[in-house]
Chain A
């Protein structure tokens, strides 16, 4: 099946920073969260995919169509909300949308107006006088009005209040319902897409360190406490290990292995608690510090 997008050995360099080589792909109809700290290269990845900048090497395909400066067709399938909200400041939101509509054959003005209403965004105000939140909303409307097959969303809910944030997420769930569309969503606030995302790609210092199905992470990671009187046990699957006398607490990335070992070695008062996807993500980004009992 054609992938919603694929990145093959994509590299982009700036002085003092290299992104990639990135290899990543996304199935149509699914949502991939892109998780990484600031300056890890998330925005640069989106810039390459949206054609704002060109990678130094490698290949980008969107629904089977190669991203090439000579054949800009791939861009029509993309809706991008990024860090830069490029509008004509002296024009109203409506005029900005009308201008943009000319580049997209699939543009629906009715959809644009409907979205603006849902997000509570006034369209008769000059773009230059919009608040930060309203600029983000205008970007979202501009990105969604041509019903793109691939949504590239770079922290799209930053600066929005919780009610509008919820409305935006609802819109994204609805966009997915057709079955073909895909969403690539960068954020460092995972709770925003904790439920929406099917899988998560973790980016650190320009490299993807892990790509996992979200449900697998939630199934495998546990915070486990237990009592053990022996000295310095090395616990299988433990990413973090704290101890205080005979009390221990580990964060395990493989609860089945950890629990198996704890039972085999006769640990007592074992308690295992699920972790939120935020907590798991923090541990993955930290890369684990296996501090065995001190």
Chain B
């Protein structure tokens, strides 16, 4: 599994790990039932300490995105499509909150904010 981790970020390594794996799961790049690399193997590949990877996996487990099976490691959990979408929606809202709040404080209207978001979405597709 390819992750792209950096020390030069405001985001902790643990959260970079969970965020990047989460994105793979929500995008369907990692299928339900698929095995994740062992904590130690991922630690070695990404040059990150074992406990950092472990904590990243625990975050994902708490969110219900992955499950541990005793003695067998971690697997992508079975998620219904609507539940996946709901998670993506909630995460988007969480991340937009501070951005939108700042935009409002700087005087942008709801329509102007919507237009900016729409242009970002259409540019990507």
Question: Which A residues form the contact surface with B (CB < 8 A)?
Answer: 29-31, 169-170, 173-174, 176-179, 194-199, 213-215, 218-219, 273-274, 276
For the complex of A and B, 7 pairs with smallest distance between CB atoms = A198-B51, A173-B44, A198-B49, A177-B40, A177-B44, A195-B47, A195-B48
Known A-B contacts A173-B43, A195-B7; A214 and B50 likewise in contact (beta carbons under 8 Å):
no
B41 contacts the other chain (CB 8 A): yes
Known A-B contacts A173-B44, A176-B40, A276-B7; A214 and B12 likewise in contact (beta carbons under 8 Å):
no
B55 contacts the other chain (CB 8 A): yes
Residues in chain A near residue B55, CB distance under 8 A: 215
A198 to B14, CA, bound (A): 12
Contact A196–B12 (Cβ < 8 Å): no
Residues in chain A near residue B52, CB distance under 8 A: 195, 198, 214-215
A215 to B43, CA, bound (A): 14
- Given contacts A199-B51, A215-B51, 9 further A-B pairs with CB under 8 A are A29-B40, A169-B47, A177-B41, A178-B40, A194-B7, A196-B47, A196-B49, A213-B51, A215-B55
Q: Which of A174, A215, A276 sits near B44, CB closer than 8 Å? A: A174
Known A-B contacts A29-B40, A176-B40; A215 and B47 likewise in contact (beta carbons under 8 Å):
no
A182 to B108, CA, bound (A): 55
B10 contacts the other chain (CB 8 A): yes
Size bracket of the B interface: 10 to 19
Query: A147 CB to closest chain B CB, in angstroms?
Result: 16
Residues in chain B near residue A199, CB distance under 8 A: 51
A242 to B53, CA, bound (A): 36
A195 to B44, CA, bound (A): 10
A–B pairs, 10, beta carbons within 8 Å: A30-B50, A31-B49, A170-B47, A173-B44, A177-B40, A195-B13, A215-B12, A215-B14, A215-B52, A273-B10
A199 to B7, CA, bound (A): 17
A46 to B10, CA, bound (A): 36
Residues in chain A near residue B49, CB distance under 8 A: 31, 195-198, 214-215
Known A-B contacts A213-B51, A276-B7; A219 and B12 likewise in contact (beta carbons under 8 Å):
yes
Of chain B, the residue at the smallest CB distance from A276 is: B7
Q: In chain B between 96 and 125, which residues have their CB closer than 8 angstroms to a CB of chain A?
A: none
Residues in chain A near residue B41, CB distance under 8 A: 177
Query: B105 CB to closest chain A CB, in angstroms?
Result: 13
Query: B38 CB to closest chain A CB, in angstroms?
Result: 9
Of chain A, the residue at the smallest CB distance from B12 is: A218
A214 to B54, CA, bound (A): 13
Residues in chain A near residue B10, CB distance under 8 A: 273-274
A31 to B13, CA, bound (A): 17
A158 to B56, CA, bound (A): 32
Query: A187 CB to closest chain B CB, in angstroms?
Result: 15
Query: A117 CB to closest chain B CB, in angstroms?
Result: 20
Of chain B, the residue at the smallest CB distance from A218 is: B12
